C-alpha cells in the first residue's frame, strides 16, 4: 500500500491479544514497522488486553511506540471515549471483523482507514 505522504502516526486495532494471538501477529507488526520505519505505531486493544503491553513487551520494543488496552470499542461503539477521543492518526488498520467496533473506530479522526 502506498500512502502519500507516508504516515507519521499509525493505529493498529485488535479485539485483544492472548499470548498465541500476539505471537502470530508479530510478523505483521514487523512488516508494518519495515514499511514505515519512522511512524509512531499505537497498538489498540479495543475490548480486551494485549500481551504486547504485558509479558511480551520486550519483544515489541522498537516495533510499538504505545499500547492502549481496553479502549472501549465493542461496548459503546457509537461514542469515542477515553484515550482515543482527541487523537488523530494518519493511518488506522482495523484487524478485527466486528461491524460495530469498526464503526466506532471509524469515528476516530484519521486520514486513511483500512479494514
Fold of 9-114: Rossmann fold (3.40.50)
CA 63 to chain centre: 12
Using the predicted structure, report yes or no on whether residue 80 has a pLDDT greater than 70.
Answer: no
Beta carbons of 52 and 22 less than 8 angstroms apart: yes
- Please give the pLDDT value at position 9: 98
Q: Per residue in 89-115, pLDDT tens?
A: 999 999 987 777 777 788 889 999 998
Per-residue confidence (pLDDT) for residue 6, from 0 to 100: 94
- Which residue is it, cell 510478523? 27
Domain ranges (residues) in the chain? 9-114
pLDDT above 70 as % of the chain: 90
Q: Are strands 40-45 and 109-114 parallel, antiparallel or unpaired?
A: unpaired
Residues 7-40 have pLDDT tens digits of 999 999 998 888 898 999 999 999 999 999 999 9
Amino acid at each position: 500500500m502506498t500512502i502519500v505522504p507516508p504516515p507519521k502516526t499509525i493505529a493498529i486495532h485488535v479485539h485483544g491479544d492472548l499470548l498465541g494471538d500476539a505471537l502470530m501477529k508479530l510478523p505483521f507488526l514487523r512488516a508494518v514497522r519495515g514499511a514505515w520505519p519512522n511512524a509512531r505505531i499505537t497498538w489498540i486493544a479495543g475490548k480486551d488486553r494485549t500481551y504486547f503491553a504485558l509479558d511480551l513487551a520486550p519483544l515489541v520494543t522498537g516495533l510499538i511506540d504505545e499500547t492502549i488496552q481496553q479502549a472501549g470499542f465493542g461496548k459503546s461503539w457509537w461514542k469515542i471515549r477515553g484515550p482515543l477521543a482527541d487523537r488523530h492518526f494518519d493511518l488506522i488498520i482495523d484487524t478485527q471483523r466486528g461491524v460495530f467496533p469498526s464503526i466506532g473506530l471509524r469515528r476516530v479522526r484519521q486520514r486513511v482507514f483500512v479494514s
